[in-house]
Structure 1
Amino acid sequence: MIFRQLFDTVSSTYSYLLASRHGAEALIIDPVLEKVDRYIQLLNELDLRLVKAVDTHLHADHITGLGALRDRTHCITVMGEQSKADIVSMRLSDGEKLTIEGVSLDVIYTPGHTDDSYSFIMPDRVFTGDTLLIRGTGRTDFQNGDARAQYDSIFNRLLKLPDSTFVFPAHDYKGDTVSTIGEEKNFNPRLRVASVEEYIDLMNNLHLPDPKMMDVAVPANMHVGLVQNEIAQRGWAVTPSEAIAFIGRPDVAFVDLRERNERERNGEIPGSLHAPYPALQENLHRGGILHELAATKRIVFYCAFGERSAMAVQAARDSGLSSACHIHGGLAAWKTAKGPLLH
């Protein structure tokens, strides 16, 4: 496996690049905007194709690199379903898996630092975001933080992992790069409490200053979504109501770009073809399923919120599929318009 821990000195943020091998798909966790050029350089050096960029939570101390990476690599942006970000391509929930080619991470909801905090588990390591730090824990005094919820996330979820599990947090301010669950149990001063009430009292009396970037970072990180209006202005989008009228037409093919678990959880448009977004370019090439389908049908792409489908319709047009369009706002907008769904 390829694993790189990358550091931003300004915000003391760790970002993590993972892939199964050279030449494979890759994902990055907690990217920083100012480091995007470095990430792109590293991806090229390692011959990797970035397919997912993930934030463990809505950050207050730096501007996320999610939007810039999406714009430059056409990757999928990913956050938890509780996130206040306006649009991300995919929203995960507790118990799901975050996957790319050859790599799978278990998704667990670990609120407390914020109400949208998630951790990601592999067999030998856990990426804890700001929930569990090295010899510390994330503060709980803003962004709907909750010390009681954090105690539960740490003591009843993260500390239940094997003691040998490596801990990779989103930040460290002392120069430490990695710990283990066992080390944190034994040496983390914030975990030396006898009860949840004692932990709440400790966290409520830290009296820390606000992060320097909070007033800039939080609003910016809430508006990272791809602006779909440009696609609509080109005439490449249809409203959910217009798309509903296409149901049953033999000259129209609905193409679902989401992953299998998203379809299982949220349903699908009746009669739609499943062609996951990571395989888009392969499917658009001559001989690919979408290239052949477009010879006789108008392709209507859709995804969860319209971000993947907006990128797909641009790629399709670039490949000569001149009638392709997408559903503006994705399945979320389709549901609001009372479009039919199969579960």
Structure 2
Amino acid sequence: MIFRQLFDSVSGTYSYLIASRQGAEALIIDPVLEKVDRYVKLMQELDLRLVKAVDTHLHADHVTGLGALRDRTRCITVMGEQSKADVVSMRLSDGDRLEIEGIGLDVIYTPGHTDDSYSFAMADRVFTGDTLLIRGTGRTDFQNGDPRQQYESIFGRLLRLPDTMLVYPAHDYKGDTVSTIGEERRNNPRLQVKDADAYVELMNNLNLPNPKMMDVAVPANMHIGFHQEAVAARGWALSPEQGMALLGRQEAVLIDLREQRERERHGRIPGAVHCPYPTLAAELAGAGLLHELARNRRLVFFCAYGERSAMAVQAAQDAGITAALHIQGGIAAWKNAEGPVEG
């Protein structure tokens, strides 16, 4: 496995680049905007293809690199379903599985620092965001934070992981890089409380100043969505109602870019062809399924919220396939318009 812990000294943020091997798909957790050039260069050096960029929560102390990485690499942006970000490609919930080639992470909802905080666990390590820090815990006094929820997230979820599990947080301000669940259970001063009430009292009396970047970072991180309006302005977008009018017609085929887990959870549009977004480039190429379908049919892409499908239209255009459109707003908008869904 390829694993890199990367550090932004300005915000004290750790970002994590993960892949199963050189030449494989990669994901990055909690990227920082100012470090995007560094991430891209490192991935080029390691011959990695970024397919997913993940934020553990909506950050208040730095501007996320999700949008910039999406624009540079056409990767999928990922956050929890509670996130206030306007558009991300994929939203996760507790118990989901975040996967790339050869790598799988279990998704654990761990609110408290914010109401959209998630942790991600592999076999031997867990990425805890700002929920559990090394010898500390994330503050709970803004962004719908809740110390009682955080107590449950830590004591009821994270501390039930094996003591040997490595802990990789999103921040550190003292120079520590990694801990373990057992170390934190024994040595983290904020975890030496007798019960939830004591933890709530402790967290409610920290009286910390607001993060220096908060007024800039929070609004910026809430507006990271791909500009679907630009795609629509070029005549490449359909409303859900226009998409419904194409169902069953021979001149068009709907292409579902979501992963199988998303299809099972949120349903499928009848008659749509499944083409997961990471396979898009290969399927648009000369011997690919989409290249063949485009010979005599118009491709109509859709995804969860319209971000992947908007990028797919541009990718089709770049591949010389001009008869391509997408359904703006994805299956979420389709459902709101009462479009047919099966499964």
Range class of TM-score, shorter chain: over 0.9
1:302 Cα deviation (Å)?
0.1
Identify the residue that residue 224 of structure 1 maps to in structure 2. Answer: 224
Deviations 1:23-52 (A, max 9, x none): 000000000000000000100000000000
Find the aligned partners of 1:47 and 1:319 in 2 and give their Cα distance: 23
- When the two structures are aligned, how many residues end up with a matched partner? 343
SS in 2 for 1:157: helix
Find the aligned partners of 1:318 and 1:126 in 2 and give their Cα distance: 39
SS in 2 for 1:139: coil
Identify the residue that residue 140 of structure 1 maps to in structure 2. Answer: 140
Deviations 1:194-226 (A, max 9, x none): 010000000000000000000000000000000
Query: Aligned runs of 1:31-50 on 2, under 5 Å?
Result: 31-50=31-50
Query: Aligned runs of 1:89-128 on 2, under 5 Å?
Result: 89-128=89-128
SS in 2 for 1:85: coil
Deviations 1:86-108 (A, max 9, x none): 00000001001000000000001
RMSD: 0.4
Give 2:103's aligned amino acid.
V
1:123 Cα deviation (Å)?
0.4
Identify the residue that residue 63 of structure 1 maps to in structure 2. Answer: 63
1:278 Cα deviation (Å)?
0.3
SS in 2 for 1:156: helix
Identify the residue that residue 200 of structure 2 maps to in structure 1. Answer: 200
Deviations 1:300-341 (A, max 9, x none): 000000000000000001111111100011111111111100
Give 1:105's aligned amino acid.
L
TM-score normalised to the size of structure 1? 1.00
Find the aligned partners of 1:157 and 1:233 in 2 and give their Cα distance: 46
Find the aligned partners of 2:213 and 2:322 in 1 and give their Cα distance: 44
Where in structure 1 do 4 or more consecutive aligned residues deviate above 3 Å?
none
SS in 2 for 1:83: coil
Identify the residue that residue 282 of structure 1 maps to in structure 2. Answer: 282
Find the aligned partners of 2:337 and 2:290 in 1 and give their Cα distance: 27
Query: Aligned runs of 1:189-268 on 2, under 5 Å?
Result: 189-268=189-268
1:274 Cα deviation (Å)?
0.5
Identify the residue that residue 167 of structure 2 maps to in structure 1. Answer: 167
Find the aligned partners of 2:317 and 2:42 in 1 and give their Cα distance: 29
TM-score normalised to the size of structure 2? 1.00
Find the aligned partners of 2:251 and 2:242 in 1 and give their Cα distance: 15
